Amino acid sequence: MSSPAQTPVADGELHAASPADAGHAARNSLVINLLLVSTFVVILNETVMGVATPRLMTDFGISASAAQWLTSAFLLTMAVVIPLSGFLMQRFHTRHLYLAAMSLFFAGTLVAALAPGFEVLLVARIIQAGGTAIMVPLLMTTAMTLEPPATRGRRMGSITVVIAVAPAIGPTIAGLILSQFSWRFLFFVMLPLALAALILGALWMKNVTEAVATPVDVFSVVLSALAFGGIVFGLSHIGESGGSVGAGVIIPLAVGVLALAVFILRQVRLQRKDLALLDLRTFKTPVFTLSVIALGISAMVLFGSLILLPIYMQSVLGMSVLQSGLLLLPGGLAMGLSSPIIGRIYDRLGPKPLAIPGTILITLAIAALSLLTVQSPWWVLLLIHVTLNIGLAMTFTPLFSTAMSELPTKLYSHGSAAVSTLQQVAGAIGTAVFVSTLSAVSATEMAAGTPAPQAMVAGMHTAFIIAAVISIAGIVIASFVRCPAESAEGNRSEVPAHL
């Protein structure tokens, strides 16, 4: 797996590191670490609002469906902006994008903390999401550009901590804050962190990439917003409506799928002249495609379990919001602590020795969740959740590293945008499928006279059985993911002509 350290140069190509390049190592490490910390802060904010829904309903006098928009609008904005990030990272310098993203996040956080009403809070969440959507692909692209191939696994392990652990522990932190303070402190706590990241970025963030004056295709921007926005909105609405599928689901999904088809056709035409908003030639690399599909399956399981487990703990086991959040915390910590170690193992052994056992652990943990009852002890759930998160860490880190390492250097930005976009869509699919299954089965059971807790458990059983079956596909796909070093043309700087 090891290879000589490489350093990016202005035209996007790589050359072997020389003593003169050694002086850039500290700069590169500073840039990546600053991006890691900043991205952790912005992603942590993604999942904090769900716990605050009851408090917001009381304070603003709004319905549950209205309060859910504070999360839905955030995810919707992410789905619209992330596909644009590939173009943005080519068009603008690293420093400019970082400062723009953190400025948006800080402004949104400040407005949210001081929001006089629901409408202003909703706008603030959209502003926050605009900054968050830029940070994730920017981190991945910058890390792939600056990190030598021999150590990319451990760096991707750190990135896994950011993109997987932060949303997992967000509800726990929110529960702790809300147990003592008002919902405004969810943002007041974030405010100094965002300000510190913005100031440090202004002082230390350096330009590490060359900007290219690429024209933007406005029609592609519109298609992207309709496609990914419509799909995520439709899927999210399934969860908000308790699993029912009406016009509010069918219409946006239909618009999204149609716009996506047109978007793909347009990108295929534009990428021949390197003018695509989202270059889809990334998917002509088989290992990238397989890795992204396996990542999508893992994202479905992660976000689906984040929805179902709190429902089970609070509605069936009778736990409080704080108790359920604390019970999920060890799993997030296990993922965070194991990811850097897994990254080092990947650098030595490649993806298969990690991804295959990881997907097996995920499947076994999900299957075990389908066996929970109304009387299951809390420690059993804790053990299963920790196992699930270790399996996810063993899957995310090697698949992220392998997917990106197989791409030509000039497609890193488009690859990271594609991965982030599909994660959002997969998470929305997982949430929709799990929630709709839970709602449908529970309703049927209660109509037959089954008590509510047992009916809820029956719905969870069915949802997790479906998730376990989907996870088996992840095992199969992971077995076909090869080590990047096995590719004779791995880490190329040019896109092959036949693509």
Reduce the DSSP state of residue 16 to 3 states and report it. strand
* Interatomic CA distance for residues 241 and 249, integer angstroms: 9
pLDDT at 293: 93
The 10s digit of each residue's pLDDT in 243-267 is 566 777 889 999 999 999 999 999 9
Judge contact between 201 and 38, C-beta under 8 A.
yes
Judge contact between 98 and 205, C-beta under 8 A.
yes
Q: Across residues 316-321, what is the average pLDDT?
A: 84
Whether domain 284-493 has CATH 1.20.1250.20: the reply is yes
Which CA distances in Å does 326 have to 169, 299, 322, 334? 9, 22, 6, 13
pLDDT at 244: 65
pLDDT at 65: 66
Instruction: List the structure tokens of 106.
Output: 């800080």
Q: Across residues 123-137, what is the average pLDDT?
A: 91
Judge contact between 18 and 413, C-beta under 8 A.
no
* Angle, alpha carbons 306-311-315 (nearest 5°): 165
Per-residue b/e over 239-271, b at no fewer than 16 CB within 10 Å? bbbebeeeeebeebbebbeebbeebeebbeebb
Q: Across residues 301-308, what is the average pLDDT?
A: 79
DSSP H or E run through 340: helix 321-349
pLDDT at 6: 41
Instruction: List the structure tokens of 400.
Output: 């992220």
Q: Which of 160, 166, 167 is nearest to 397 (CA)?
A: 160
Per-residue HEC secondary structure of 380-420 comes to: HHHHHHHHHHHHHHHHHHHHHHHHHHCCCHHHHHHHHHHHH
* Residue 315 reports pLDDT greater than 80: yes
Share of the chain above pLDDT 70, in %: 89
Reduce the DSSP state of residue 275 to 3 states and report it. coil
Q: Which of 484, 455, 459 is nearest to 369 (CA)?
A: 459
The 10s digit of each residue's pLDDT in 22-80 is 556 777 788 888 999 898 888 888 777 767 877 888 888 887 667 777 877 887 888 88
Least confident of 23-37, 199-213, 237-251, 304-318: 237-251
**Which DSSP symbol is given to 14?**
E
Instruction: List the structure tokens of 262.
Output: 């047109």
Q: Please name the fold of domain 21-213.
A: Growth Hormone; Chain: A; (1.20.1250)
Instruction: List the structure tokens of 20.
Output: 């003169």
Which CA distances in Å does 53 have to 184, 302, 427? 12, 21, 20
